[in-house]
Structure 1
């Protein structure tokens, strides 16, 4: 296998102005990296013919693959199609492949007529290029080879881009390297780096340490034998803190562990507003182990649905050890689960006090042996506090389920 490099270019004024969020280059980078390709560069450029032509000159001939995202629509600000024709010095011509797009609308004559009008815009490609079928939209993609570079131009609509990228990337030759991702929980990046120092010293591996509110992801990249050996070493060094092979999220690890042990569980949430339960229900098959969740934001709902006593709320407040323990016990009783996790806290930006500042979070767990709680002091904005609290709740529940 040989070294293969790709460049990714997102086209869109809205991306440069922060109106839209770039997703397609990230998706393409992840897919190509999994195929052993190296990403030489990633750009966002304007909806401008000159800018797109300049990107062609910049990358064609220096990488094996150039992928454009966006600018293939039917409106005045979609310039990629014309720009590629300008670069190739070729005429834009309609292609018979657009007939396959039109066939989708055989049962809707009005819409079929509107789509037929797009034949000379979204159905046109440079004369020297090939068309790429769009299974979800009307804009055909464009493909051509030039100076040793394969150029792919795909629509910017994320679901269309992903479907077409999956199809076109499937025919690419694999590169010389492989990579794997290992999610680690329970420690920050500095502690993790010290724990896996033998891997960092291994010259046959490229190691990336990527922190997030969910934990730390370690990416190992290199030749296949080195990556397999590196993953084995890492799991030996961190036997209790790595998610299982093939599992990339805490919620999936939790559901799989509960399935393996025949354990059911429930959730009770205040400051996270249902994020914990939402993450769990993202996992297919979770209904076998997840009994349900209770979101009790207001104090009266904590009393009514989870039987948190008025005395606890009056004496200790909703953000307290006694409250979160009562919430966990109440959720376990109401949902009839083997275990329950509960969270309550102050996500901010207001609501804090000197004794309970913003970022104060209690997490509790209840099972047949009783209940216990932990206090966390989190620092960050409302989004971070809620995301980190969700991850901490899932992690603790996962660790407890594994002990069963």
Structure 2
């Protein structure tokens, strides 16, 4: 019996690197939440023969096949034609469904939508036309060889609206899954520590590393999943984010809000990445005062009060400078707690004493004032990303310590 889902993203622009597919990754996440395994994701060109070949390759092998893109009014939108060829039927005009789309618009847009009735109202004979709640192209749905096939427009907000209207409501949750986000552990050490869990029959474990975090996703029976989650949280009580928290910035904001503590940052090599991550979190204004991006020595002196002799004697990438930056940020913003980061992201600027990847961090609060150094590797983007992640983790752990 066919099971799982396959996702196809149609578009030359994705194969040329001009655009990235976000539709399939978004839908894969939603299918994961529902317990439907995704058997494959393909990015294919606006080529009728290739679309036909891909559809034929998946139909009968999966329960669901969802196609993104190729349903617009231009010459390179070939999905509807490929689906008609697969079914061996002609295209027909679904006027009732398209009339519902036209009725949403007022002039002058209504005339433009009406002018695109052909080809946007064309669907394979015997298929169902799905009115687009956000755009003007019909979606298409049909069944073949035990596979439910859905084709939606590729514009991201149209794709999501149609998937949520016509596809996802019919998918019932299958099985149980939960995740635990662990901070400060390398993926390899975490896998070694819980090796027996990862090899347990009937329990599927996904390990998803990111800068500073590893997300463990458990899927299986409710009993096995609950036991696995309890085991990880029980053995790593200081390193697991709270249930429901998926990122460190969100954990920092939540922890600060619970404690009634205000936050600020002083950033050099990260150039605002720490503050940007915090302000990405809804509700960050409850706790976040601001970040001072002080890239030059002059800015560190003028805005944060770093002493000129500190820079002269120790340099901007030093314990002494990081501590003065953290204290300066607290003073500048009037916050309860602050974090500072200053380092050498490269590719130039390193020395034998302070090679590229040398980063100093400091935290300043009512009960704490400390600094530490990390030696990071990788390119400039990698070093900056990890520096921001470490700064956020430093805030989080300081908040948890009270």
TM-score (norm 1): 0.95
Please list every run of 5 or more consecutive structure 1 residues that lacks an aligned counterpart in the other structure: none
Query: For residue 289 of structure 1, what is the aligned residue in structure 2?
Result: 287
1:40 lines up with 2:72 in the alignment: no
Per-residue Cα deviation, 1:36-83 (whole angstroms, up to 9, x for no partner): 111112212221111111112111111110011111122221111111
Query: For residue 73 of structure 1, what is the aligned residue in structure 2?
Result: 72
1:248 lines up with 2:264 in the alignment: no
Query: For residue 266 of structure 1, what is the aligned residue in structure 2?
Result: 264
Matching of residues 59-98 of structure 1 within 5 Å? 59-95=58-94, 96-98=96-98
Query: For residue 13 of structure 1, what is the aligned residue in structure 2?
Result: 12
Give 1:3 shift. Answer: 8.5
Give 1:370 shift. Answer: 4.0
Query: For residue 381 of structure 2, what is the aligned residue in structure 1?
Result: 383
Per-residue Cα deviation, 1:280-321 (whole angstroms, up to 9, x for no partner): 111111111111111111211111111111111222111111
SS in 1 for 2:243: coil
Name the count of aligned residue pairs. 401
Preserved CA contact (<8 Å) 1:267 1:276: yes
SS in 1 for 2:112: helix
1:162 lines up with 2:165 in the alignment: no
Preserved CA contact (<8 Å) 1:250 1:394: yes
CA RMSD of aligned residues (A): 1.7
Query: For residue 321 of structure 2, what is the aligned residue in structure 1?
Result: 323
Please list every run of 5 or more consecutive structure 2 residues that lacks an aligned counterpart in the other structure: none
TM-score (norm 2): 0.95
SS in 2 for 1:348: coil
Q: Take 1:234 and 1:327, find their aligned partners in 2: how far apart are those partners?
A: 37
Where has structure 1 moved over 3 Å in runs of 4 or more? none
Q: 1:104 to 1:319 in 2, by over 3 A?
A: farther
Preserved CA contact (<8 Å) 2:71 2:120: yes
Give 1:7 shift. Answer: 0.8
Q: Take 1:129 and 1:383, find their aligned partners in 2: how far apart are those partners?
A: 48
Query: For residue 100 of structure 2, what is the aligned residue in structure 1?
Result: 100
Query: For residue 333 of structure 1, what is the aligned residue in structure 2?
Result: 331
Q: Take 1:3 and 1:257, find their aligned partners in 2: how far apart are those partners?
A: 45
Q: Take 1:130 and 1:317, find their aligned partners in 2: how far apart are those partners?
A: 68
Preserved CA contact (<8 Å) 1:325 1:342: yes
Q: Take 1:29 and 1:153, find their aligned partners in 2: how far apart are those partners?
A: 15
Q: Take 2:5 and 2:72, find their aligned partners in 1: how far apart are those partners?
A: 24
Query: For residue 357 of structure 2, what is the aligned residue in structure 1?
Result: 359
Preserved CA contact (<8 Å) 1:15 1:44: yes
Give 1:23 shift. Answer: 1.7
Give 1:366 shift. Answer: 0.2
1:231 lines up with 2:257 in the alignment: no
Q: 1:148 to 1:189 in 2, by over 3 A?
A: same
Preserved CA contact (<8 Å) 1:3 1:175: no
